[in-house]
Amino acid sequence: MEKKFGQPKKINRLTIHNLLKKAFKHHWHPCSSAKTLEETPPVCVKRALGSYIEDMEGHLVIDGISSWWCKSLGHNHPRLKEALLQQANKFEHVIGTSTTHEAIIELSELLVTLNPGMGKVFYAGDGSSAVEIALKMSLYSRFNQGNTKKKGFLSLVNGYHGETCGALSVTQIDTFKRGYASLLFNGLPIENIPYVNTPQDPLWQDCQEHWDTIQDFLEKHHHKITALILEPIVQGAGNMRIYSQDFLRRLRIWTKEQDIHLIADEIMTGIGRTGKMFACEYAGITPDFMCLSKGLTSGWIPFSAVLTTNEIYNCISNKIGEDKVFCHSHTYSGNPLGAALALETLKIMKDDFAWDDFKEKTAYLLKSLQEVADETKTLSNVRGIGMIAAADIRLNLFSSDKMKSMIRLAYQNGALLRPLGKTLYWLPPLNIEKHTIEELKEITKRALLYAFK
């Protein structure tokens, strides 16, 4: 179903020039400097299908990063479009409290079924809000228990959890936090993480050598900690770093022993991205909270979910003899359009997704990036898991100007890429076709060779 657009109409260059001029006038693009936007103007999108985006001139580009990691089933998936239309024909939104509806009932049941050990699902609109909710729920459960000591949060160095104040406080990447110190609390960072390039690394199975020092650090702080938040297995914005499943497993055991909640931020890793439905499955663990968004609706609509256990729910909201409320009144909580899309996405992933074929394609993705590294000699530290492959530009070659020119060249040749600092990565839709990966490889290779040689 890839690349089946009709004949593009020729668009006058002047039309695009005028559109871009207008775009710069009032639209403030996220995470882009004015200089970068001027040097590499945004793609003027006409339509999108499967793994491809078509610009106003009829030029097709591969969405190499799934539009910020959310278009897991590609653009314009026919079953998702149908689910959206069917729900829109019934009703598009009703208040999330005082009402309920079929889509949210079925979705909540399916999410809990897919995550044995979980009992309740709370909904919000985006990933950062889901993280805020999980942090607040953890804290509020302590408050309800009269525990005034457990107030702090642990997170992993290089971890990213969003841009709102709580989420940013537990994010451990300085670039995002600069300038906001007075708004943030201090999330404590865990260092010395056992990173691996692939699950074949021995550290993946056994990280004892790192654990000893980490445990010393943890033991110093455990009494004041309410929760540890982490991205299980892959740290996305932290340069696509992959870490040992044994580390995740040990953290779960340790947090349980210390009565510390584990918040699994599966906003990027969840719903198949790493090769499992949820990345926590690699370590065989159940967290106390799981945050989902992005791939949950396959990027159709802002929609997020926080799963938690009945035990925590009872502690916050159902204390016997008391009328306790979790006061987080999100207007769009449980939005029916998002719920219908999430339900259909999960049904596709659970019942109709070609997992064997996917496994083969993920191996092909990583092999392709390794080939790019071998042939261009511009990349080091090639790594990957599931439908994620990443590598770093060799330090002696890197400059941000060269990287910008690489991005421009890739776009001109048909791929939309957005490296993280010196890290180049591919994170395409899960159902990308093999020939499109091949195309992505050739385009990336050419762009690297021109920009860095």
Ligand X SMILES: Cc1ncc(COP(=O)(O)O)c(C=O)c1O
Contacts with ligand X, residue ranges (CB under 6 A): 126-128, 131, 160-162, 231, 236-237, 265, 267-268, 293
Measured over the CA atoms of residue 123, residue 128, residue 134 and residue 136, the dihedral's sign is negative
Is the Cβ of residue 104 or residue 130 nearer to ligand X in the bound state?
130
Is the Cβ of residue 237 or residue 382 nearer to ligand X in the bound state?
237
- Write down the least CB distance from residue 330 to ligand X, Å: 13
Is the Cβ of residue 130 or residue 448 nearer to ligand X in the bound state?
130
- Write down the least CB distance from residue 452 to ligand X, Å: 27
Is the Cβ of residue 155 or residue 378 nearer to ligand X in the bound state?
155
Kindly state the tokens that stand for 412: 């001109």
Residues 224, 149: Cα–Cα separation, whole Å: 5
Is the Cβ of residue 53 or residue 168 nearer to ligand X in the bound state?
168
| 405 membership: H or E segment, kind and range | helix 400-413
**For residue 225, what are the CA distances in angstroms to 255, 310, 453?**
10, 21, 49
Residues 4, 429: Cα–Cα separation, whole Å: 16
Is the Cβ of residue 155 or residue 226 nearer to ligand X in the bound state?
155
- Write down the least CB distance from residue 402 to ligand X, Å: 25
Is the Cβ of residue 160 or residue 353 nearer to ligand X in the bound state?
160
Q: What is the DSSP string of 221-277?
A: HGGGEEEEEE-SSEETTTTSEEE-HHHHHHHHHHHHHTT-EEEEE-TTTTTTTTSSS
For the chain, the residue count is 453
Q: 383: closest CA among 434, 426, 433, 438?
A: 426
- Write down the least CB distance from residue 240 to ligand X, Å: 11
Q: Which residue of the chain is nearest ligand X when measured via CB? A: 127
Is the Cβ of residue 299 or residue 336 nearer to ligand X in the bound state?
299
Backbone dihedral region for residue 3 (phi beyond 0: left; psi -120 to 50: alpha; all else: beta): left
Is the Cβ of residue 206 or residue 281 nearer to ligand X in the bound state?
281
Q: How many helices (H) and strands (E) does the chain have?
A: 16, 17
Is the Cβ of residue 2 or residue 126 nearer to ligand X in the bound state?
126
- Write down the least CB distance from residue 295 to ligand X, Å: 11
- Write down the least CB distance from residue 437 to ligand X, Å: 23
- Write down the least CB distance from residue 304 to ligand X, Å: 7
Kindly state the tokens that stand for 347: 């049904």
> Burial letters for 8-27: b for 16+ Cβ neighbours within 10 Å, e otherwise?
eeeeeeeeeeeebeeeeeee
**For residue 276, what are the CA distances in angstroms to 44, 182, 298, 320?**
34, 39, 16, 38
Is the Cβ of residue 172 or residue 436 nearer to ligand X in the bound state?
172
CA distance from start to end of the chain: 36
Strand order in the sheet with 423-426: 379-385, 388-393, 423-426
- Write down the least CB distance from residue 450 to ligand X, Å: 29
- Write down the least CB distance from residue 66 to ligand X, Å: 11
Q: 238: closest CA among 285, 294, 179, 176?
A: 176
- Write down the least CB distance from residue 267 to ligand X, Å: 4
- Write down the least CB distance from residue 128 to ligand X, Å: 3
Kindly state the tokens that stand for 415: 């791929």
Q: At a CB cut-off of 8 Å and minimum separation 6, what does 310 contact? A: 119, 120
